[in-house]
Amino acid sequence: MLTCPMCKKSVRRPARECPSCRTDLSLLVNYVEDLQEGLVRAEALTRAGELGEAVWAYLAVLEVDPDNAVARRQVGQVATAVRQFDEEAPGRLWGKRVRKQARRRSGEGGWLGMAFWAFVIVFALLLGYALGSWHGNPPPAGGEQKTATE
């Protein structure tokens, strides 16, 4: 069923003229028939397994009628399938593993490596403190100790 753009009444599809207001509807009828033909062609291509051509046919329908629910649903399903394939493709899985290993290696052992370096830093600080305090107050020569009264 078509709706006349002038009087807003429903018109049966084969009519090229509105029965109420006599408006020429030939362009509107051609428009709707072309959309139907495009949808039928796209569905036939889908059933034949020609998904690439079917998507192009659905996109052609969407070019003319962006609100066409059937074409939007079909293109959406194909886009979802392609996205899933991209995520599950063997090359992608290999790439994910390589990136994961690289992240693990960049930490150089995680907490164990960090604990090692923390120990090295604390040891260096204590060694520096001990050497500094030993050189700052050398022990008396000859083993004698000076007293404060001397």
Element (H, E) at 2: strand 2-3
Most confident stretch, 20-24, 25-29, 70-74: 70-74
Is the pLDDT at 150 greater than 60, yes or no?
no
| Three-state SS at 106 | helix
pLDDT, mean of residues 66-75: 83
Alpha carbons 73 and 70: distance in angstroms, whole number: 5
Is the pLDDT at 124 greater than 90, yes or no?
yes
pLDDT, residue 144, reads 58
Q: Which long-range contacts (CB under 8 A, 24 or more apart) does 26-30 make?
A: 28/2, 29/2
Q: What is the pTM of this model?
A: 0.44
Give residue 2's pLDDT band: very low, low, confident or very high (50, 70, 90). low
Element (H, E) at 3: strand 2-3
- Number of other CB atoms surrounding residue 31 within 10 Å: 14
Is the pLDDT at 29 greater than 90, yes or no?
no
Q: Which long-range contacts (CB under 8 A, 24 or more apart) does 57-64 make?
A: 61/35, 64/31, 64/34, 64/35, 64/38
pLDDT, mean of residues 117-134: 92
pLDDT, residue 109, reads 56
Number of helices followed by number of strands (H, E) in the chain: 5, 2
Element (H, E) at 10: strand 10-11
pLDDT, residue 106, reads 64
pLDDT, mean of residues 104-126: 82
